[in-house]
Structure 1
């Protein structure tokens, strides 16, 4: 069998046109060294879902015939970059005006995470984001999320206020009793320090819940 014409190869199509002109299989083939066969297999393995693929770990991708550790690493790195691109705020504004802004900023990072991640947004007096930080990974509880972990950076950054956020890997953003307890503890600590907690947003798959809108604390 003769090799396909250069114009038919994914790498060449990428150079001649743009990434948007390539199919998902062809884009994966670029990461797999140009061979569409293993690219098609790995896409089929995850039922055509890039989100499912992004949740996988390298050994799971390596079970696909033709996908070795190096290719698996390139695929996972590309998907991680895509998530970060989706989460990157527009340069026109970095202000947080509503819980929807928190979801728009952090949702792409957190919606597919396999573990709970607790993030804090540190805000200036105009509700602009000074910095965002992931403070903990694991089940959310009052022993894991200590006020000093939240407010130590706030003091160092001279933040005027903070917004808390974490994800539910189940996809259901309904707050748990532990979510409420942690929020109340941190809200009270913020009052004492003069750095108010403006909200705690629980992020699910395609939805979120604002504990401030729920009237918590």
Structure 2
């Protein structure tokens, strides 16, 4: 869909509807998601400002940036006033946000609970349409040395080679690890294969003095912890 030739530019908006000025004077945290998106698209249509258009877009995405980030360029371009260039800008911003969440902080995070592990791994695998198996490698203070992808599978499963898992752990000098994989279906219940793999890796870890502290099953909305459930 082509963008209209005439739009309300920012200079035409009322002072209360100018997100750039609001960001300048009050900081980015003072803006709503719709106002931030409005800055990205720059202009609306003859009938509505960029902020009004952005409010419709975010509302249609269930007021969720996660849902908005999953929309295709074609989906975004169904809105009058959103052409290819603006759709690409929104998609690029969503991807930058996702990548920022995935980056490890300079200060090594310390795993004190299953919730800590979930917060690190959910942005990495929680929204994937296929299964992936990852391992977080920890030092003796349970600080994360590395997080490594071990295998990529299909919608219903992935194969994991224990030798690869412990090879990565030894290379990193890890003394403990947290296992994690996602369930694209949203089902948090561990399968028989999940339980068998966990036991296999625990036993292998005992021989190498590398402790398996937990195994998380992660979905977009939540997680299941083997340790919290007393299965380790």
- Give the TM-score, by structure 1 length: 0.79
8 Å contact 1:55–1:113 — kept in the other structure?
no
Q: 2:192 aligns with which of 174, 177, 202?
A: 177
Greater Rg, structure 1 or structure 2?
2
Task: Name the Cα RMSD after superposition.
Answer: 3.1
Q: Among 100, 119, 135, which residue is 1:104 paired with? A: 119
Q: Quote the residue 2:86 is aligned against.
A: 71
Is structure 2 residue 139 aligned with structure 1 residue 124?
A: yes
Q: How many residues align?
A: 216
When residues 162 and 41 of structure 1 are mapped into structure 2, their CA distance, relative to the original with a 3 A threshold, is same
Cα 1:149–1:78 shift into 2, 3 Å: farther
Matched residue SS, 1:120: strand
- Correspondent of 1:25 among 34, 47, 57: 34
Can you give the 5+ residue segments of structure 2 that lack an aligned partner in the other structure?
Answer: 1-7, 45-49
Please state whether the residue corresponding to 2:134 is helix, strand or coil. strand
SS class of match (1:214): coil
- Measure how far apart 1:175 and its partner are: 1.1
1:18-57, aligned counterparts within 5 Å?
Answer: 18-35=27-44, 36=50, 38-57=53-72
The answer as to whether partners of 2:108 and 2:144 remain within 8 angstroms in 1 is: no
Q: Which stretches in structure 1 are left out of the alignment for 5+ residues?
A: none
Give the ranges of 4+ consecutive aligned residues of structure 1 lying more than 4 Å apart after TM superposition: 83-93
- Structure 1 residues 134 and 62: alpha-carbon distance in aligned structure 2, compared to 1, 3 A threshold: farther
Helix, strand or coil at the partner of 1:12: helix
1:114-193 aligned at under 5 Å gives the runs 114-139=129-154, 141=157, 144-193=159-208
Task: Write the mapping of 1:3-22 to structure 2, written as runs, cut at 5 A.
Answer: 3-4=12-13, 8-22=17-31
